Amino acid sequence: MALSSKLNKDGFRVYCLLGDGEIEEGEVWEAAMTSSHYKLDNLCAIVDNNNLQIDGSIDKVMNPYPIDEKFKSFGFEVLTIDGHNFKDILEAFNKARNIKGKPTAIIAKTIKGKGVSFMENQVGWHGKAPNEEEFNIAVKELCN
Ligand SMILES: [Mg+2]
């Protein structure tokens, strides 16, 4: 999409949200190499770096660290932010918009389930929904 935008002079930017477990997949790095090769400065990848994936902590399953150095080595500008801080997020998007000649990767440090006491950093919540009681407790905690 980012390459199409460049070739057709459409002028739109592309934002791609990636999980930190997802970046263990080879196609991500093929796309990253392609993005750099074509100098896709209209592409901004955001990595949700919560350290967890469905089978456990990412460093135990298939360690992708150092994520920032990997993206740099693939020709990206890299920004690391607190992924829960909206000011940081907006500033990073503004910086990325002004980076020319290469794509940007924003490494957003996050906590899975943040704000819900029984979900924070619990890998078991990666792929299941809360029951009604858990849902009501979670909403109450998030709204306080
Ligand atoms: Mg993750």
Q: Which pLDDT tens digit goes with each residue over 63-101?
A: 999 999 999 999 999 999 999 999 999 999 999 999 999
Tell me the CA–centroid distance for residue 111 and ligand 1, in Å.
Answer: 9
* Residue list, CB under 5 A from ion ligand 1: 19-21, 50, 52-53
> How do the domains of the chain map onto residue ranges?
2-110, 115-144
Greatest CA span in the chain, whole angstroms?
Answer: 51
Predicted structure pTM score: 0.94
- The rounded Å distance from CA 47 to ligand 1 centre is 9
pLDDT at 124 (0 to 100) = 93
- How far does the centroid of ligand 1 lie from the alpha carbon of residue 2, in Å? 24
Percentage of the chain surpassing pLDDT 90? 98
Distance from residue 8's CA to the centre of ligand 1 (Å) = 34
Tell me how far apart the alpha carbons of residues 24 and 59 are, in angstroms, rounded to a whole number: 11
Which CATH code, of 3.40.50.970, 3.30.1360.200, 3.30.1330.10, 3.40.50.300, is assigned to 2-110? 3.40.50.970
Start-to-end C-alpha separation, the chain: 40
Measured in Å, residue 19 CA sits from the centre of ligand 1 at 5
**Predicted confidence (pLDDT) at residue 49 exceeds the cutoff of 90:** yes
Q: In this predicted structure, what is the pLDDT of residue 8? A: 98
- Taking the centre of ligand 1 as the mean of its atom positions, its distance from the CA of residue 123, in whole angstroms, is 9
**Sequence-ordered list of residues with C-beta below 8 angstroms from that of 33, at least 6 positions apart, any chain:** 74, 75
Label residue 127 by pLDDT band (50, 70, 90).
confident
